[in-house]
């Protein structure tokens, strides 16, 4: 079965003003939808970033992959790798760690690999989880992903989530998300306020939700010294502390001095980072993300390696739509080493999606693995057309939380470390 054509469609959807170490989310989040069509008339779906630099490369890869065998991952990977020179794609927000050629290749390859797995599943009449080794769980637990946030975008009315700028607001937001989705663990995106304030928010969450595992992720905005001090203050409160400081060496210095495991989606972002991180003892938990770890099969291989070396796994997420949620769910359902609830931004998309409703739902904070063949989700073509029109009109071409924040607060600096 060969690839006859590939459609690449950028989309934009509304995003609330979520605060992070880089600034604040713009009113529109971007993604790219990839549809691979075979000579036998089967279609597979993939989803990836929407930033213009990346989109241009995904379009070039789509051209180059025409005619490939949909079972030929290695040949497709080599073709994509052949398109990437030394000029790597760098995120303007810097929240997913360093850029490299390997990471750029993996990011471009990922949506095509997912789409081909969707096709292979449809051809075999089996869900993708079965192509990844079969399910070890029927539903994948996700965490309530809390953000400090403004009540609405500047000049716009308050959104349905309201403001969360202090411990009370954070607890209220947790109640809202847990009430709607039933999440059984909680992650707070930190790096926004001085660490003492974020520690207070964690204490308030612990009091309000005594049985929920908690995590805090300041996206490497603390120095090593601050991370050690704050990590010790948080003793007994966190299941893990995510990326308190920058780099493998810094993380290793912190890991040696704090009581809880450190997690990362910033200092270990490609396979070449694993050996030095393991040698240094820098991390106890890796947040994989198939969007930048080269798709589902490569992510599963990394998971096996991590398990061998005693590294636990969770999953990282950026603003995304249902194709990504389906892919994440199949992968986590087939991966025994994913022992922590995964991150998802789904609640913040508030029902906006490019997939038809029904296949994906949350039950007690977990997404049951879709039953249908392949990813088990169908593209909603009307929604895709509307979101593509939004992309054309919205004016955002690359996610840039820092410039947006500076348009509101010109004194804002995204420097690391800040505290």
Ligand X SMILES: O=C([O-])C(=O)C[C@H](O)[C@@H](O)C(=O)[O-]
CB 9 within 8 Å of CB 386 = no
Size of the site for ligand X (CB under 6 A): 11
Stretch that binds ligand X, among 60-68, 229-237, 269-277, 311-319 (CB under 6 A): 311-319
324 interacts with, out of Mg ion, ligand X, none, CB within 5 to 8 A per kind: none
Centroid of chain to Cα 275: 23
Q: Which of 370, 368, 362, 369 is nearest to 179 (CA)?
A: 362
Minimum separation from the CB atom of position 289 to ligand X (A): 9
Binding characters for ligand X, 179-198, by CB under 6 A (x = yes): ----------x---------
Q: Which of 7, 21, 25, 54 is nearest to 318 (CA)?
A: 25
Peptide bond into 417 cis (omega under 30): yes
Q: How many CA atoms lie within 13 A of 389 on its CB side?
A: 6
Pick between residue 120 and residue 316 the one whose CB is nearest to ligand X.
Answer: 316
DSSP three-state, residue 368: strand
> Does 316 participate in catalysis according to the annotation?
yes
189 interacts with, out of ligand X, Mg ion, none, CB within 5 to 8 A per kind: ligand X
Q: Which of 256, 258, 311 is nearest to 286 (CA)?
A: 311
Q: Which of 49, 44, 50, 124 is nearest to 76 (CA)?
A: 44
Binding characters for ligand X, 318-347, by CB under 6 A (x = yes): xx----------------------------
58 binds ligand X (CB under 6 A): no
From candidates 51, 73, 159, 217, binder to ligand X by CB under 6 A = 217
User: 54, 93, 122, 189: which one is catalytic?
Assistant: 189
As given in the structure block, the two tokens for residue 408 are 């509101």
Separation between Cα atoms, residue 170 and residue 148, nearest integer Å: 7
254 interacts with, out of ligand X, Mg ion, none, CB within 5 to 8 A per kind: none
Pick between residue 189 and residue 416 the one whose CB is nearest to ligand X.
Answer: 189
User: 153, 316, 340, 345: which one is catalytic?
Assistant: 316
Pick between residue 122 and residue 399 the one whose CB is nearest to ligand X.
Answer: 399
> Does 291 participate in catalysis according to the annotation?
no
Question: CA dist 19 to 23, 244, 298, 375, Å?
Answer: 6, 17, 31, 32
Binding to Mg ion (CB under 5 A): which residues in 247-266?
A: 265
Minimum separation from the CB atom of position 190 to ligand X (A): 10
Q: Which of 202, 198, 187 is nearest to 145 (CA)?
A: 187
Question: CA dist 279 to 103, 308, 309, 339, Å?
Answer: 21, 14, 10, 22
Pick between residue 117 and residue 254 the one whose CB is nearest to ligand X.
Answer: 254
Which residue ranges make up the site for Mg ion (CB under 5 A)? 217, 242, 265
Which residue ranges make up the site for ligand X (CB under 6 A)? 18, 20, 95, 189, 217, 219, 265, 316-319
Instruction: Cite the active site residues.
Output: 189, 316
């Amino acid at each position: 079965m060969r690839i006859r054509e590939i459609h690449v469609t950028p989309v934009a959807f509304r995003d609330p003003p979520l605060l992070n170490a880089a600034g604040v989310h713009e009113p529109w989040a971007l993604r790219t939808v990839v549809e691979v069509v075979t000579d036998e008339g089967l279609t597979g779906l993939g989803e990836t970033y929407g930033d213009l630099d990346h989109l241009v490369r995904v379009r070039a890869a789509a051209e180059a992959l025409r005619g490939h065998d949909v079972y030929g991952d290695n040949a497709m990977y080599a073709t994509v790798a052949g398109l990437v020179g030394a000029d790597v794609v760098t995120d303007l927000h810097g929240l997913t760690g360093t850029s490299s050629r390997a990471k750029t290749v993996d990011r471009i390859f990922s949506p095509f690999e997912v789409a081909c797995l969707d096709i292979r599943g449809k051809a075999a009449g089996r869900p993708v989880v079965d192509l990844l080794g079969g399910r070890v769980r029927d539903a994948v637990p996700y965490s309530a992903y809390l953000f400090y946030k403004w009540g609405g975008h500047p000049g716009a009315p308050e959104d349905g989530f309201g403001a969360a700028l202090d411990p009370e607001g954070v607890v209220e937001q947790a109640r809202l998300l847990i009430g709607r989705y039933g999440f059984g663990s909680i992650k707070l995106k930190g790096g926004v306020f001085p660490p003492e304030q974020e520690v207070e928010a964690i204490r308030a969450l612990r009091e309000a939700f005594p049985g929920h595992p908690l995590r805090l992720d300041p996206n490497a905005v603390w120095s090593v010294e601050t991370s050690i001090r704050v990590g010790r203050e948080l003793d007994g409160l966190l299941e893990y502390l995510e990326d308190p400081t920058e780099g493998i060496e810094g993380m290793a210095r912190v890991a040696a001095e704090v009581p809880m495991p450190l997690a990362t989606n910033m200092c270990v972002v490609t396979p070449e980072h694993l050996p030095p991180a393991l040698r240094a003892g820098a991390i106890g938990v890796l947040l994989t993300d198939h969007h930048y770890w080269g798709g589902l099969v490569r992510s599963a291989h990394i998971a096996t390696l991590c398990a061998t070396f005693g590294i636990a796994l969770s999953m990282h997420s950026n603003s995304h739509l249902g194709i990504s949620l389906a892919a994440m769910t199949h992968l986590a359902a087939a991966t025994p080493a994913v022992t922590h609830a995964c991150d998802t931004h789904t609640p913040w998309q508030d029902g906006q999606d490019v997939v038809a409703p029904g296949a994906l739902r949350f039950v007690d904070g977990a997404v049951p693995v879709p039953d249908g063949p392949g990813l088990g989700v169908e593209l909603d073509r009307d929604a895709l057309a509307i979101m593509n029109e939004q992309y054309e009109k919205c004016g955002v071409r690359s996610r840039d939380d820092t410039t947006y924040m500076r348009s509101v607060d010109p004194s804002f600096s995204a420097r690391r470390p800040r505290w």
